[in-house]
Amino acid sequence: MDKRVLLPTDYSRNALNALRYAMQLYKDVECDFYVLNAFQVSGYTLDSMMVPEPGERLYETAKKDSRVKMERLMKMIKLYPENPKHRFHSISTFNSIVEAINHVIAAKDIDIVIMGTKGLTESRARIFGTNTVAVMERIKECPVIAVPVDYSFSTPKEILFPTDYKTDYKKQEIGHLIEIAKLHDSKINVVHIDKDKDGKLSKSEEANKQLLQDILNGSDYEMHFVPGVKVSKGINLFMENKPCDMIAFLNRKHWFFGSMLSNPLVKEIGYDPTIPILELNDN
């Protein structure tokens, strides 16, 4: 399988770490990596009526700064051990990060976006930076992996996939999770977290559970049940007993992941992401 991977960067240490993670995650896969910097112009917002034009001093200064840093980054990439399966392409553009990502996804037929959890200007108190939250909430065309600050690559042998069985599943949206699991011989740990202690499923929930099992058939997976706790507590309890290398969420508009991102993450689910998060989209 050939992959087209989009790597947004603000040239921060976290962004570079996410780039290295992507190279390791797909080290055995033919990949085209598109390194994207969406630059801004100081004092302007894309929503304002005053947008700097190409040729204007501030625009050209920001453009030059972006391209100089991109050239430096591409030279740095060449210092890493060469992988003949990997090809790198650079894109520097004046735009918001979300609009730039959407444009490149469409233009380059991107399969997955991999980025850091925060950038240059994010405070240490924030687990996810504002750009990462915006990308995860608004990019619907492909999955997004968020890589924590200073995370050192570890083969994702155990993947946590929490669910409540409230909605049905589609092969297409779960397919990216299955693909990564098969690539690394990973086990997918499906964890049903239920605030009620009995764990009884309604007919529709039972049907959704069976559908998920049908989709996962042929993969290495295991079903788990964590009773009597909220999602936040259930995730932490499971991770304490069975450490995982990646956590995958299906981003339903009405499910907990969307609301989780809209609020401070650590308060909403009490989960400090020390491992990469794979966000799967509701197609």
Q: Read off the amino acid at residue 102.
A: N
Rounded-to-integer distance, Cα 15 and Cα 9, Å: 5
3-state secondary structure of 56: coil
Could you tell me which residue, 164 or 36, shows the higher pLDDT?
A: 36
Q: What is the mean pLDDT of residues 216-225?
A: 95
Could you tell me which residue, 98 or 261, shows the higher pLDDT?
A: 98
CA distances to 153, 156, 188, 245 from 181, rounded to whole Å, are: 15, 8, 7, 11
Look at strands 277-281 and 144-147 and give their pairing.
Answer: antiparallel
Rounded-to-integer distance, Cα 111 and Cα 29, Å: 13
Cα 123–chain centre separation: 20
Residue 271 confidence (pLDDT) above 50: no
Q: Are 66 and 92 in contact (CB under 8 A)?
A: yes
Q: With pLDDT > 90 as the criterion, what percentage of the chain qualifies?
A: 55
Q: Are 199 and 238 in contact (CB under 8 A)?
A: no
Q: What is the mean pLDDT of residues 253-273?
A: 46
Instruction: Find the range with the poorest average confidence among 21-35, 115-129, 156-170, 192-206.
Output: 115-129
pLDDT tier, 270 (very low <50, low <70, confident <90, very high otherwise): very low
What's residue 217's pLDDT? Answer: 96
Rounded-to-integer distance, Cα 80 and Cα 5, Å: 18
What's residue 74's pLDDT? Answer: 97
Residue 260 confidence (pLDDT) above 60: no
Q: What is the mean pLDDT of residues 189-193?
A: 92
> What CATH class is the domain 3-147?
alpha beta
pLDDT tens, position by position, 115-174: 998 755 555 445 566 778 778 878 888 999 999 888 999 999 999 998 888 888 889 889
Q: Which helix (H) or strand (E) holds 90?
A: strand 86-94
Spell out the domain ranges in the chain. 3-147, 158-281
Rounded-to-integer distance, Cα 27 and Cα 25, Å: 6
Could you tell me which residue, 271 or 249, shows the higher pLDDT?
A: 249
What's residue 43's pLDDT? Answer: 61
Same fold for the pair 3-147 and 158-281:
yes
What's residue 44's pLDDT? Answer: 61
pLDDT tens, position by position, 55-92: 688 889 889 999 999 999 999 999 999 999 999 999 99
Q: How many CA atoms lie within 13 A of 90 on its CB side?
A: 15
| Residues with Cβ within 8 Å of residue 126, at least 6 apart in sequence | 118, 264
Q: Are 236 and 194 in contact (CB under 8 A)?
A: no
On whether the 158-281 domain is CATH 1.10.8.290, my answer is no
Instruction: Find the range with the poorest average confidence among 15-29, 103-117, 195-209, 243-257.
Output: 243-257
Q: What is the mean pLDDT of residues 13-31?
A: 96
Average of per-residue pLDDT values in the chain: 85
Rounded-to-integer distance, Cα 270 and Cα 265, Å: 7
What pTM did the predictor assign?
0.88
What's residue 265's pLDDT? Answer: 39
Instruction: Find the range with the poorest average confidence among 32-36, 163-167, 185-189.
Output: 163-167
Rounded-to-integer distance, Cα 239 and Cα 255, Å: 21
Q: With pLDDT > 70 as the criterion, what percentage of the chain qualifies?
A: 81
Q: How many CA atoms lie within 13 A of 101 on its CB side?
A: 27
